[in-house]
Amino acid sequence: MTEARGDFRRSAGVLCAVASLAAAASNPGCSRAEDPPGRTSASSTGGAPGTTAASGTGGGGGAGGDAPYAVSPLVPAIAFDATPDAGGAYVYFTGLGADGRAGVFRIGAQGGAGAAEIAAGPPLVAPLGIATSADGGRLFVADPGAGGPALDDAGALFAIDLPDGAVAPIDGGEGLQARGLEVARGADNEERIIFSGRDRDDGQPGVFSLPARGGEVSALAKGSPLVDPSGIAVAGPGDIFVCDTLASPDKTATIFRIEDGFVSPFATGLHVGYPCGIALTRDDAALLVLTRDPTRGADEVVWIEVASGARSATAAGAPGHDEPGGLHRARGADVFAFVDHRAQEQGSVFLLRQ
């Protein structure tokens, strides 16, 4: 990354250079999925902090019916992706600190005056996606800008030990332009990182698997119909859902389902941000997608029943909060964290729960 503040885009003009977002206060978001490359959105006035309740009809883990879902802003921040810890007591997120350094930060689930720094600065360059380990002892970060000149800044995967914040590259995760990621246990009970990116040899977009301890990367799906995959969600049986911001001709997002290497469209016509935020409920009954309601000009969470494909929506932001980013679920509860690149003018981290 040679230009400290220059904006660049990879993969058909969607991937923002997170490292260049020292200028994010004036241009915090990447292009929306339906926007053509180079188009930027008008600025918004943001909204006042507070907790809003919305009616949702998503399924799974006690989340069904017309139960109210509380959407709570936790902290204003230039943030890209967020994940709760296992019990939903804390939220970790990637973004920029007050000093402009890219890194990983933590805020309590009740919010607060500011976020604590977990790790910032080199070797992290453009930390984008984030996920927690199964035991909660580590964070995994996809950094599509790391790697240095030898790898043409083609990215790396990092592990961050908690609570000390020690950062180490994961062997085998370099050069793949990793973006969205999730952590799952395989049939051998080994923890693996499932992530979106590009093959280091042929450059094709795909979804890949890598042992969390490092090792050999395997491609779970690669090439067409995938174009620009980012957000990842993994079901207990091993099915993978991946959000692709450019797979549709109208530039809306498509969510694909990967079953035993076979890729099929699961949901289409979604107005998402970048990275696309998706997560499954704890019982895998519903997929949540962080989207933008173009009519209201605000974020909403679309609940899609996995069995039937039926959709419903939960309002997730005030008008003007219309640059959705990443979304993840706590491992032990139906508690979700997400980010918006425009909320509170500079961006904000939110919690969604009953």
User: Domain extents for the chain?
Assistant: 54-353
CB 332 within 8 A of CB 60: no
Residues pairing with 219 in the sheet: 208
Least confident of 140-154, 202-216, 260-274: 140-154
Phi/psi at 23 (5° precision): -95, 15
Q: Flag whether pLDDT at 109 surpasses 80.
A: yes
Residue 204 CB coordination number (10 Å): 12
Cα separation, 329 vs 288, whole angstroms: 9
Taking residues 274-302, what's their average pLDDT? 95
Confidence of residue 152 (pLDDT cuts 50, 70, 90): low
330-344 pLDDT tens trace: 999 999 999 999 887
| Nearest residue to 103 via CA among 92, 81, 119, 115 | 119
Q: Is the pLDDT of residue 69 over 60?
A: yes
Q: Where does the pLDDT of residue 189 fall: very low under 50, low under 70, confident under 90, or very high at 90 and above? A: confident
pLDDT for the residue 263: 97
Mean pLDDT over residues 121-126, rounded?
94
Query: What's the token pair of residue 276?
Result: 């696309």
Say whether pLDDT at 47 is over 50.
no
Look up tokens 């067409």; give the residue: 224
Query: Phi-psi region for residue 151, left (φ > 0), alpha (ψ -120 to 50) or beta?
Result: alpha
DSSP 58: -
Task: Please name which of 340, 7, 276 lies closest in space to residue 145, comparing C-alpha atoms.
Answer: 7
pLDDT of residue 56 exceeding 70, the answer is: no
Fold designation for 54-353: Neuraminidase (2.120.10)
Neighbour-count burial for 51-88, b at 16+ CB within 10 Å, e otherwise: ebebebbbbbbebbeeeebebbbbbbbbbbbbbbbbeb
Q: How many CB atoms are located within 10 Å of the residue 224 CB? A: 9
The pLDDT of residue 27 is 31
Name, in order, each residue with C-beta under 8 angstroms of 80's C-beta and a sequence gap of 6 or more.
18, 93, 94, 95, 127, 128, 129, 275, 325, 326, 339, 341
Confidence of residue 186 (pLDDT cuts 50, 70, 90): confident
Residue 36's pLDDT is 32
pTM: predicted TM-score of the whole model, two decimal places = 0.84
